[in-house]
Amino acid sequence: MPQLPQLAYFPTASETLTATVPRQLVHRAAVAETLLTGWHRIGTDQFRVAAQWPRAHPLHVSSDRRAYDPLLVTETVRQSGTLLAHTEYDVPLGQRFVLQELSVSTRAEHLAVGPVPAEPTVAIKIFGVRRRAGRVTAFRLTAAVIIENTQVASAYFAASWTSESVYRRLRGGRTPATVSALPPPAGLAPALVGRTVPADVVLAPPDRPGRWQLRVDTAHPVFFDHPLDHVPGMLLLEAAGQAGRAVCGGQRAPVSFHATFDRYAELDLPTWIEAQRGPEEQIQVVGIQGDSAVFACRVGTAGR
């Protein structure tokens, strides 16, 4: 994985930002889940993306409204890459986004919720652009997330895009209309995984130490902002974070994620989340369907 960028000097956006970008450009159905407010090119394959983070959010702000969650950073970077793909690299809106690898590292001490919504700037470098028949089909990016001239996070991801017709062939006819999720089992106690609302708990009680069934609720307004034919990557990352908390007995919280996505996690098959402690307070998490891994994630933690 390439070295993540470090902050030298990055000016705060001076323009007044009053609206989000069109939600279709970031693959969101709800305006409330659209985090970006603008962008512009600052060099060859380099861009500055502006965002606004809400002071309250059911998932991405702590229940006491004191801190932003690392997955808010993750979603901001994902939206930034999607936005630039469509606006700067001419990826058609009908193309399907396929996330292959993602890494996010946050500085928790700089993610406090303030008296007004935070307005981070995301400095992005695009590289490794691949084309087929003159059209962009994949790229990688690094990102530095900056609030008031302080870098609060670094990120990297690799993604590709495929046409709807190719995607449908890959999915073998599976669509939101033809695939139904398994009924979600009862969840862990919310406090064990850093949540207050039972509906936001994505892990069932363990069937053995360090293994939980993933709870997939397709009515969840954040994870399933719009109908899907597979388990979304953000739900898998949330499961990794909750597993990390559970393994640590609730005494440590996620501050970083490095995930690889091997194949689609199907809605109508049970997904098992397995976690174990690794070196340097890291938790190694694997998601399994049948005999195969669907994703793997190394979760970095810090004391609460």
pLDDT digits (tens, 9 = 90+) for 108-164: 999 999 999 999 999 999 999 999 988 999 999 999 999 999 999 999 999 999 999
Q: Can you say whether the dihedral through the CA atoms of 141, 2, 50, 242 is positive or negative?
A: positive
Shared-domain flag, residues 136 and 51? yes
* Tokens (6 digits) for 241: 């974070």
Shared-domain flag, residues 208 and 247? yes
- The share of the chain scoring above pLDDT 70, in percent, equals 94
Mean pLDDT confidence for 1-23: 52
Shared-domain flag, residues 155 and 198? no
Task: Report yes or no on 70 lying in a domain.
Answer: yes
Domain boundary among 152, 168, 184: 168
Shared-domain flag, residues 59 and 195? no
Task: Report yes or no on 264 lying in a domain.
Answer: yes
- pLDDT of residue 18 exceeding 70: no
Question: For residues 141 and 128, what is the distance between their CA atoms, to the nearest angstrom?
Answer: 8
Task: Report yes or no on 156 lying in a domain.
Answer: yes
Task: Report yes or no on 12 lying in a domain.
Answer: no
Shared-domain flag, residues 202 and 151? no
Question: For residues 153 and 6, what is the distance between their CA atoms, to the nearest angstrom?
Answer: 9
Task: Report yes or no on 89 lying in a domain.
Answer: yes
Domain that holds residue 101: 23-168
Task: Report yes or no on 8 lying in a domain.
Answer: no
Mind giving me the DSSP string for 191-227?
A: GGGT-SSGGG--BPPPSBTTEEEBP--TT-TTTTSS-
Chain centroid offset of residue 181 CA? 21
Shared-domain flag, residues 139 and 152? yes
Q: What is the CATH number of the domain that holds 42?
A: 3.10.129.10
Task: Report yes or no on 33 lying in a domain.
Answer: yes
Shared-domain flag, residues 85 and 151? yes
Shared-domain flag, residues 278 and 183? yes
Domain boundary among 168, 198, 216: 168
Domain boundary among 168, 200, 228: 168
- pLDDT of residue 7 exceeding 50: no
Shared-domain flag, residues 55 and 146? yes
Neighbours of 302 (CB within 10 A): 14
Task: Report yes or no on 18 lying in a domain.
Answer: no
Cross-strand bridge partners of residue 144? 123, 154
pLDDT of residue 261: 97
pLDDT, tens digit (0-9, with 9 covering 90-100), for 163-174? 999 999 999 989
Report how many domains make up the chain.
2
